[in-house]
Chains A and B, each alone.
Chain A
Amino acid sequence: MTKSVYLDNSATTPLKKEVLDEMMPYLCEHYGNPSSIYKIGREAKAAIETARQKVATSIGADSKEIFFTGCGTEADNWAIKGIAQAKEKKGKHIITSKIEHHAVLHTLESLEKQGYEVTYLNVDEYGKISLDDLRSAIRPDTILITIMAANNEVGTIQPIAEIGAIAKEHGVLFHTDAVQAIGSMEIDVKAMNIDLLSLSAHKFGGPKGVGALYARRNVLPSVFMHGGAQERARRAGTENVASIVGLGKAIELATSNIESKTAKIRAMRDRLIKEIPEKIPYIKLNGHPTDRLPGNVNFSFNFIEGEALLLMLDLNGIAASSGSACTSGSLDPSHVLLALGLPHEIAHGSLRLSIGESNTTEDIDYVLEVLPGIVQRLRDMSPLYEKVSKEMR
């Protein structure tokens, strides 16, 4: 039997058992509508408020500043469109980076069609924005800076505390997409001057289809869903109680002892980053050498294409991801890899392995054992490698 190794924890993570256990009673037993006044309704309401407090505590916020959403994408949409609308009178200029998630970039594109202006900051070869570029991009009509805490593809961590300080100094609001960052690094919205933050439960052991938006007191994005009084009438609709409870438990677990928990993951990451290049020539590490998510490994392999690599890995029981065009269904490889300055042909051959809490040393041993053979097999099939191997001879 082939082994089964899951190395796509940036795509999603398994639901933790403890999280499921907390969620279960809210499906059949405490099924009341949280807006109802009788006992089972009040129980559901109380559970939501407990979860809200847990989310708030984990990022240094106040529970009144947390709004539950249907996913991370929704939190990004809400933060950006909501501030654009609320601050329309001040101006219509927004600053972001070229390597944001599509949930941010496509939202901004939709605003551009409505007359907003967006500055897309470049990143360096490691995926970092420049604080000087940020400072000089700020204008009197700038209403929002939206820059992700950590990138989902290459794992690069941005200097969010510094960005927050610059935003504050200039009186501009700062939103950060922390979907990948929660549980992987310490985040304190007050100390880091973060005005709005998006998060998503399924990236840290919670259920899929639930997220949250933090919005600092007095920073109110416009109403997202009109209807009932839920989420202080800003995001109406009967709450997904069990999932919200799951989000609360998952974030509590994920943000306690981050340092010691990530140490094990970081060691596995560093081993892959060190040993893969020792075994495979013509490759490049994508992302920052040190300021990167503890579980993120991203390499480009010359002469081969990412989707073929993923299929081969899958045939060997390894689940991973790639930024190649062939996996995205679009013509271009990932916008993130291109923004880092990778030529198209190298960007097509990228592989992301994202390590999570459930991975073991044996998983890493197995990847190191099978990956070199798979890469070689695909290279032996590649007309691009043919030229190189002939030149070598």
Chain B
Amino acid sequence: MYSEKVMDHFANPRNVGELDDANAVGEVGNAKCGDIMKIYMKIEDNIIKEVKFKTFGCGAAVATSSMATEMVKGKTIDDALKLTNKAVMEALDGLPPAKVHCSVLAEEAINAAIFDYYKRQGIEPPVEIKCSGCCADCHKHD
């Protein structure tokens, strides 16, 4: 049911862990629904120098966290904000329909971390940041 890429990122996830000196942390999801993603970033000169994640969730949740962190590592904040769940899914050679929400969660976690960065820097976040990590509601598993 999962592609080889998904299984690879699940079995050997990249960037797992925490960053003690993170200056951007985003957490989305809800234990009640069975998925939580937490992303740590170290941002310098608008560049995401380091990124780590911790995920409570299914195989797809782990794989999308792994892939999304790979895709934003070394990128500018602006580029990272452009990352879509669709791009993450494509990079993983697709996800089963019931698992699309996991890639949405990954996109939101990246957004939430950057939102946190702006907040810490005392900068008004640009309007295009959709998710501040407030969306603790259950996404539909359809």
Contact = CB atoms under 8 A, between A and B. Distances in A.
A384 B31 contact: yes
Contacts of B62: 308, 381
A383 interface: yes
Nearest to B102: A326
A43 interface: no
Nearest to B6: A311
A98 B59 CA distance: 29
Contacts of A109: none
B31 A344 contact: yes
Contacts of B54: 381-383, 386
Interface in A334-393: 343-345, 348, 380-386
A330 B141 contact: yes
Interface string B1-40: 0100001001101001010000000010001111111100
Contacts of B11: 312, 315
Contact of A325 (B16, B56, B141): B141
Nearest to B57: A305
B55 interface: yes
Contacts of B18: 386
Residue from B18, B27, B141 whose CB has the most chain A CB atoms within 10 Å: B141
B56 A307 contact: no
A383 B16 CA distance: 11
* Main SS at interface, chain A: helix
Interface string B90-122: 000000001000000000000000000000000
Contacts of A308: 10, 57-59, 61-62
Q: How large is the interface on A (under 10, 10 to 19, 20 to 34, 35 or more residues)?
A: 20 to 34
Contacts of A307: 58-59
A307 B2 CA distance: 12
Given A305-B61, A329-B141, A386-B18, A381 B13 contact: yes
Contacts of A344: 31-34
A319 to B, nearest CB: 15
Interface string B66-96: 0000000000000000000000000000000
Contacts of A343: 32
B38 A383 contact: yes
Contacts of B55: 381-383
Contacts of B56: 303-305, 381-385
A24 to B, nearest CB: 33
A1 interface: no
Given A326-B57, A383-B54, A305 B34 contact: yes
A191 interface: no
Contacts of B16: 380-381
Given A308-B59, A330-B141, A325 B34 contact: yes
A155 interface: no
Nearest to A381: B16
Contacts of B35: 305, 326
Interface string A155-171: 00000000000000000
12 contacts: A304-B56, A308-B57, A311-B10, A325-B33, A325-B141, A326-B35, A326-B60, A327-B58, A344-B31, A344-B34, A345-B34, A381-B56
The 6 closest A-B pairs by CB, nearest first: A326-B58, A345-B31, A307-B58, A383-B38, A348-B34, A383-B54
Given A307-B59, A308-B10, 13 more contacts: A305-B34, A305-B56, A308-B59, A312-B11, A326-B35, A326-B58, A345-B32, A348-B34, A380-B16, A381-B55, A381-B56, A383-B37, A386-B38
